[in-house]
């Protein structure tokens, strides 16, 4: 559901304009007249127009491909185009200033024209779907209008060329600064790659990887084959050792000794002696000199043989188990064992060498991935450095060529010509402009006057300001209605009694509503003694008091209306009564109450104020006054006291403590916010029981919501109470027997 706030705001503005119609109409008329007069004296205006065409690349860049990035039109935002950007450039301050300087444009004070003044008169438009801009300028001088457009286009084109050239210059200077560093980076990358290859002995890692794999496989085959040969040699050597009963070292020593000629000679001699000794032992006993001689020779030969063996064995004693009785077979076996031992040693050494080569190859193979990665990194660095250096060299040549270009992205395709006829006068537009400006001025002045006016203007403002219950609203007299008194119901004139003088008046319905709301205000204790007052004078409190008393009397209630305003009494004038005896006389016991009270209509008595005392508050703030009010309450259904305004005298706040409640009368356009706040503070500080407020003298058509407006078809015979209650949004009483009986 849409909010009604905009509608309410418009209604408030309309009401303000209605209240301030004279000032608003005057402002509107003055502004419209001023605009029309200014239009009539305005000189004819001439408009000159020129056209610029734009290309994304200028002709030279598009043909040569050189400096395209510099000469290309583009935009940063997808929502805008390059033409939008150039539109703003054309009317920028530097361009406008150069045009003003070339044309030597002056203002009325003969000073150089300000750029913003000229920029406001220049109009730049883009035809839909075309890469062109139309530049127009209006002036009273046709030649000046054409010269301004042409000069502006020339300045813009020169600026465009200069801008492209400045970009090229900046790019060239930047590249020239970067070239030495780029060249140094290339050289350093080359040195790093060369040092890496030298330190790691790298030529072709891919080929080396294949070669190492093949070498590892070949070495493994050689190791396997050599190990097989070694096992075979070890088996053969073991067999020979078993046959010889000695190891290879012993066999070598024995073989060396046996092969010595002197040893062989001594062995032959020893063998001859031993043979002869064996023969002689058969013939002789051991003690025989022959046997003894042979033993001595044998012993001598053994000593010579041992000495010779020791000499042959480099002074070392031969093994104890050495058998010097080698035959040819054993000598051959000994030689074979020596050869096999040598072969075993050689094969073992070869296996170790091959294993070391294989380990070295595997280590190299494990290093290859890291070397490859490092080499690739160094090669990439070299390639990047070379590419950067080459690109910088290429761009340097391009920007040098672009720096010498003299063609921009825009060209004049239609220069401005001197217009021959002025622009047609747009009186309708000026009239609309004047009306708009006048309306704004009228609204502004109305709002200003309204802001300065501190008075309460509407019922809603009164409700919001006081914060009390709204018990009723009383419209002002409509034009054409007959009244018993003057139409002015202010305190300076005699107020009227609408319910008595004009029973058919629509205003009667509001007093019926007021008395009904008072009746049903509280379900616990119905207020009987009611003090009617206001914040200041001329708010109609006496009128409300009198008419409310009549409404209550018509409802069948016995009512006493007391004029407690001992400063400016008026009830006796309203009712055309004698004021020889009244409230003041009764209080000081100068008159009897029964003689002072006068009956003005059935169920309604009035007690005039009587003589005005020198100090009213002294007699009102007395025990006698309190006893009189209690006596009034015991004799009447309702007692209404008309008292002075709150802000004028302390009478109302004094009497307020003696009554059941206070009814505050508020009159828009009379009461201002300052006095309203004062009276509200007085009521709060004095602890008054405020029943509510009655807004008097409203103009229903000026209310923002129309809640308080009724047509004249509603009359007193149509039971208006329920209808009024529904529109007021306040208390809705039930139908009272007294109201029905009165009707």
Residue 459 falls inside a structural domain: no
Lowest mean pLDDT among 150-154, 253-257, 277-281, 345-349: 253-257
In a domain, 418, yes or no: no
| Confidence at residue 82, expressed as pLDDT on a 0 to 100 scale | 76
Per-residue exposure over 63-75, b if at least 16 CB sit within 10 Å of its own CB, e if not? eeebbeebbbbee
The helix, strand and coil proportions of the chain, stated in percent and rounded to the nearest 5, come to 60, 10, 30
Are residues 341 and 433 located together in one domain of the fold? no
pLDDT in the model for residue 242: 80
At 79-94, the pLDDT tens digits run 567 788 888 888 888 9
Strand partners, 125: 134
Contact present, 738 and 519 (Cβ < 8 Å): no
For the cut 70, the answer to whether the pLDDT of residue 707 exceeds it is no
Query: pLDDT confidence of 473, banded at 50, 70, 90?
Result: very high
Give the chain's domain count: 3
Mean pLDDT of 162-190: 84
pLDDT value of position 720: 40
Same domain? For 501 and 438 the reply is no
Q: What are phi and psi of 326, to 5 degrees?
A: -85, 140
- Give residues with Cβ within 8 angstroms of 197, minimum separation 6: 203, 375
262 and 310 together in one domain: yes
| Helix ranges (DSSP H) in 582-709 | 583-587, 593-596, 616-620, 623-635, 651-656, 673-686
Q: What is the mean pLDDT of residues 601-611?
A: 96
pLDDT of residue 54: 81
Considering the domain architecture, whether residues 448 and 492 belong to the same structural domain is answered as: no
For the chain, the residue count is 743
Are 439 and 564 in the same domain? no
Specify which of 198-202, 448-452, 720-724 reaches the highest per-range mean pLDDT.
198-202
Q: How confident is the model at residue 678 (pLDDT cuts 50, 70, 90)?
A: very high
Instruction: Give residue 42's pLDDT.
Output: 64
Percent of the chain with pLDDT over 90: 25
What is the average pLDDT across 32-60? 74
395 CB-near residues (< 8 Å, 6+ apart):
171, 175
Q: What pLDDT digit, counting tens, does each position of 429-446 carry?
A: 667 777 787 777 777 777
- Given a cut of 50, is residue 719 above it in pLDDT? no
- pLDDT tier at 695 (50, 70, 90 boundaries)? very high
Residue 280 burial (10 A CB sphere; 0-12, 13-18, 19+): middle
* Average pLDDT over every residue of 71-82: 58
User: Which pair of structure tokens corresponds to residue 637?
Assistant: 């259904």
pLDDT reported for residue 681: 93
Evaluate whether residue 391 is within a structural domain.
no
> Given this model, what pLDDT does residue 164 score?
73
Q: What is the pLDDT of residues 476-492, one digit of tens each?
A: 865 434 433 343 433 44
The answer to whether residues 487 and 437 belong to one domain is no
The answer as to whether 157 is a domain residue is no
- Residue 656 half-sphere exposure toward CB, CA atoms < 13 A: 24
pLDDT tens per residue, range 539-571: 999 999 999 999 999 999 999 999 999 999 999
pLDDT at position 715 over 80: no
- Residues 679 and 611 both lie in one domain: yes
Examine residue 444 and state whether it is found in any structural domain, yes or no.
yes
pLDDT-based confidence at 303, cuts 50/70/90? confident
Structural domain for 284, as ranges: 209-375
Distance CA(632)–CA(638), nearest Å, equals 9
In a domain, 395, yes or no: no
CA distance 248 to 341: 7
- Specify whether 541 is located in the same domain as 590: yes
Q: How high is the pLDDT of residue 542?
A: 94
179 lies in a domain? no
- Helix-then-strand count for the chain, H and E: 27, 12
Pair 441, 510 in one domain:
no
Whether the pLDDT of residue 724 is over 60: the answer is no
pLDDT at residue 192 in the model: 86
Is the confidence at residue 618, as pLDDT, over 70?
A: yes
Answer yes or no: do 510 and 573 share one domain. yes
Task: Spell out the residues 6+ positions from residue 453 whose beta carbon is closer than 8 angstroms to its own.
Answer: none
Residues above pLDDT 70, as percent of the chain: 76
Q: Classify residue 158: in a domain, yes or no.
A: no
Tokens 């003696």 correspond to 658
Place of tokens 């009227």: 496
Q: Three-class SS of residue 410? A: strand
Residue 506: give its domain's CATH number. Answer: 3.40.50.300
Q: Where are the alpha helices (DSSP H) in 404-454?
A: 427-452
Q: What is the pLDDT of residues 304-321, one digit of tens each?
A: 878 877 777 665 555 554
Residues 564 and 677 in one domain: yes
pLDDT surpasses 80 at 297: yes
Residues 492 and 445 grouped into a single domain? no
Most confidently predicted of 342-351, 402-411, 542-551? 542-551
Q: What is the pLDDT of residue 421?
A: 82
The region of weakest confidence among 47-61, 614-628, 665-679 is 47-61
């Amino acid at each position: 559901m849409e909010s009604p706030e905009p509608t309410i705001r418009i209604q408030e503005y309309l009401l303000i304009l209605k209240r301030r119609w004279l000032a608003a109409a005057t402002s509107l008329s003055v502004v419209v007249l001023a605009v029309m007069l200014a239009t009539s004296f305005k000189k004819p205006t001439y408009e000159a127009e020129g056209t610029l065409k734009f290309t994304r690349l200028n002709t030279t860049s598009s043909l040569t491909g050189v400096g395209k990035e510099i000469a290309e039109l583009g935009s940063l935002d997808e929502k805008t185009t390059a033409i939008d950007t150039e539109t703003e450039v054309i009317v920028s301050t530097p361009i406008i200033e150069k045009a003003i300087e070339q044309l030597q444009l002056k203002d009325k004070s003969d000073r150089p024209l300000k750029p913003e003044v000229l920029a406001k008169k220049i109009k730049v438009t883009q035809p839909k779907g075309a890469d062109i801009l139309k530049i127009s300028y209006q002036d009273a001088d046709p030649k000046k209008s054409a010269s301004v457009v042409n000069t502006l286009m020339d300045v813009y084109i020169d600026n465009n060329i200069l801008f492209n050239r400045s970009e090229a210059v900046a790019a060239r200077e930047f590249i020239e600064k970067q070239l030495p560093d780029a060249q140094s980076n290339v050289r350093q990358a080359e040195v790093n790659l060369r040092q890496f290859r030298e330190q790691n002995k790298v030529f072709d890692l891919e080929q080396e990887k294949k070669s190492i794999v093949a070498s590892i496989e070949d070495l493994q085959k050689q190791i396997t084959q050599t190990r097989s040969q070694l096992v075979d040699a070890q088996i053969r050597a073991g067999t020979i050792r078993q046959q010889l009963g000695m190891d290879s070292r012993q066999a070598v020593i024995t073989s060396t000794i046996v092969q010595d000629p002197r040893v062989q000679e001594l062995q032959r001699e020893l063998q001859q002696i031993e043979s002869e000794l064996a023969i002689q032992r058969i013939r002789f006993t051991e003690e025989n000199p022959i046997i003894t001689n042979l033993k001595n020779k044998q012993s001598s030969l053994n000593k010579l043989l041992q000495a010779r063996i020791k000499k042959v064995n480099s002074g070392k004693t031969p093994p104890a188990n050495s058998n010097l009785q080698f035959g040819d077979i054993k000598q051959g076996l000994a030689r074979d064992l020596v050869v096999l031992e040598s072969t075993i040693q050689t094969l073992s050494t070869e296996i170790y060498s091959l294993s070391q080569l294989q380990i070295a190859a595997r280590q190299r193979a494990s290093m290859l991935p890291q070397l490859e990665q490092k080499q690739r990194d160094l090669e990439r660095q070299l390639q990047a450095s070379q590419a950067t250096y080459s690109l910088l060299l290429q761009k340097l040549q391009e920007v040098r060529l672009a720096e010498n270009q003299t063609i921009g992205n825009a060209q004049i395709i239609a220069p401005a010509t001197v217009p021959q006829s002025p622009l047609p006068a747009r009186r309708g537009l000026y009239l609309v402009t004047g009306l708009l400006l006048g309306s704004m001025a009228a609204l502004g002045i109305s709002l200003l006057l309204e802001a300065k006016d501190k008075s309460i203007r509407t019922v809603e403002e009164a409700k919001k300001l006081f914060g009390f219950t709204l018990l009723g609203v009383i419209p002002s007299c409509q034009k054409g209605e007959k009244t018993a008194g003057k139409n002015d119901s202010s305190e300076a004139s005699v107020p009227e009694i609408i319910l008595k003088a004009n029973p058919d008046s629509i205003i009667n319905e509001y007093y019926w509503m007021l008395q009904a709301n008072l009746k049903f205000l509280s379900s616990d204790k119905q207020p009987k003694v009611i003090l009617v007052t206001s914040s200041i004078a001329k708010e109609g409190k006496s009128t409300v008091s009198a008419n409310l008393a009549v409404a209550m009397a018509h409802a069948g209630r016995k009512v006493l209306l007391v004029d407690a305003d001992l400063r400016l009494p008026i009830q006796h004038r309203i009712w055309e009564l004698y004021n020889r005896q009244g409230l003041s006389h009764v209080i000081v016991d100068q008159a009897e109450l029964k003689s002072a009270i006068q009956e003005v209509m059935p169920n309604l008595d009035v007690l005039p104020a009587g003589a005005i005392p020198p100090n009213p508050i002294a007699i009102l703030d007395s025990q006698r006054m309190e006893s009189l009010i209690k006596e009034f309450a015991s004799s009447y259904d309702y007692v209404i006291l008309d008292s002075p305004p709150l802000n004028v005298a302390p009478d109302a706040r004094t009497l307020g403590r003696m009554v059941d409640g206070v009814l505050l009368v508020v009159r828009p356009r009379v009461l201002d916010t300052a006095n309203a706040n004062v009276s509200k503070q007085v009521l709060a500080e004095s602890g008054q029981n405020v029943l509510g407020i009655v807004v008097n003298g409203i103009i229903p058509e000026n209310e923002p919501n129309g809640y308080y407006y009724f047509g004249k078809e509603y009359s007193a015979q149509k039971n208006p109470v329920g209808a009024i209650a529904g529109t007021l949004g306040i208390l809705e009483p039930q139908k009272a027997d007294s109201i029905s009986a009165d009707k």
